[in-house]
Structure 1
Amino acid sequence: MDEKNTQHIPLILAFTPSYLVPAAACILSVKNHATSRDCFHFICLLTQRLSTESEDMLVKLGGTRCRFSFIDLEGKLTDLYIDEKYTIAASYRLLLPDLLPEYDKVLYIDCDMIFQNNLADLYHSIYLKDNYMAGVFEATLDSQQAHMNAIGCEPGKYINSGLLLMNLAQLRKDNMVEKFLEAAKVEGLEFPDQDVINQLCRGKIVGLPPYCNSIRTFLLPQYKKIFLQYYTVQDWQNVQHKGNVHYTGPKPWVTFTIAFDLWWKYYEKLPGKIKQQASFNLKVQILSRVYRTWFGKILINTVRSLYRKVRNSEG
């Protein structure tokens, strides 16, 4: 068996203990779209240590083709600017080059994602050369133009940091961790770690197809016109039919949102012990069951469509 098929692909997630269930759903979606030859090393960066029971549940979920490492980073990055809307976990990706010296290339993924493609294929197919990373460029909205100007990024050249194929070797060579951390001390950044990555890695980012990281605005029809300013009609179709869904807005375990049924499909596949680790709103759970029936889906989508039309006509 060749090296490609025997190596464990390093996949990095960062989360708080309260995000255990979303992280498990994400991991399960990765595993379910891999082949029998693909092996993964899930490296979990934690804001505080998980219980031994929680760690064991994730290890069991991964099965024989996955191994896990749990790194407690509580107390790290205390001097960085962190917007109150986000947790410190999001900024842990800035540390990866120094945190994981044994790896030259890793794939970072946000745990509020559900994957519909094989991440092993992505990991092996992209040659980064001397670029720092690969990611999906957002389709810049009119409302985001001012922010792009403020941080010195061109429209359409700003990546979403929810999925990053990172060249740790090159980042280490250029001492980027120190530069990241210094830049992240600046107050007022809208998306602290993401803004810093875009500012300091400009010109050394490889663009990935948008289905690799299908953020909320890629999936909503009202943003299609803007999407097509940066991508093709085929890209739009790929996002709709096979996109790795990134719940960048409302979370499906909290309220009804895009690709609602997809997240709940993976939740229902989780072992009972993992599902017991979170107490979700009963109304949302009932809605998830209704929406997964053909009649419920038609009814809810019709109501949503009518609501959008009324709201747009009033606006």
Structure 2
Amino acid sequence: MEYRKLGSSDLKVSVIGYGAWGIGGAPFWSTEGDHASLSSIKKAFDLGVNFFDTAPVYGFGHSERLIGQALKPVRDKVIIATKCGLLWDKEQLGSIKKVAKADSIFKEIDQSLERLGTDYIDLYQVHWPDVDTPQEETMQALLKIQEQGKIRHIGVSNYSVQQMEECLKVGPIVSLQPEYSLLQRKIENETVPFCLENDIGIIAYSPLASGVLTGKYDKSTRFKDWRGKGILGEFTGEAFVRNIQKVDRLKEIAGDLGKTCGQTAINWVLQQPGLATALVGVKNPRQMEDNIEAVGWTAPENTSSEIDQLFTQTTNS
């Protein structure tokens, strides 16, 4: 495993991170049960993964509980990241709202600490920007719980450059967690240069574009889960067909490298400027083993250029 410094922090994170969204269970992803989820977390640790990213909203607390349970014996050897800023009235997706007010953050941190079974969180991130709450209020609250020793470092997720600039006026942020993959490259023009200039580490989520870049699907695929609802462009209509055509070529390139399509897609993300870690979601230990094979090699320059060109200017639309 390879490890990189996360922005301006003292954290050294594995370049493959464990993304714990799916282990929260239905309606998203894994339905294989807690035993498979716990086994995959432990397998990740055994393979050298030390960065585990979760959030209260993942399974409405269930993901945090599983992460805490699995990592309790090795707490001092791992980096646990969770989030704040999304609340729900009922355990339904339609009830989720963005709230990053100070009093809400003070409640959320204690709830996360309890669910995770720990007395500190290594990286605490605002999940989505709350445009109705001043960034100053949010940051002041985060700085206060940092001073109390409840969190070690502050990060943000899904933030724009302007929103990060507002945060930095109040205090340091060490990381940004954006969606980033061969099929989602919007951050490259403005966000990545800003992060490099301000020593903000990039934590890429969905490096496999929620499975499209694994190469498992073809143009006739019709998703029966949330991916088929047209929420994201990769999974429906003409955009999906165009993306599958590109993925088909990526499969051929990966085969020439002796790698899978997914491993090649993750490896590409790991080579990009400012990237500290790429989060992968897995259903079972075998998938974790497969994803780890994305580490420790570099494609020839001409191959990297072809991949880059193949997916240049790919967007979500």
TM-score range, shorter-chain basis?
0.3 to 0.5
TM-score, with length taken from structure 2? 0.34
TM-score, with length taken from structure 1? 0.34
Structure with greater proportional helix content? 1
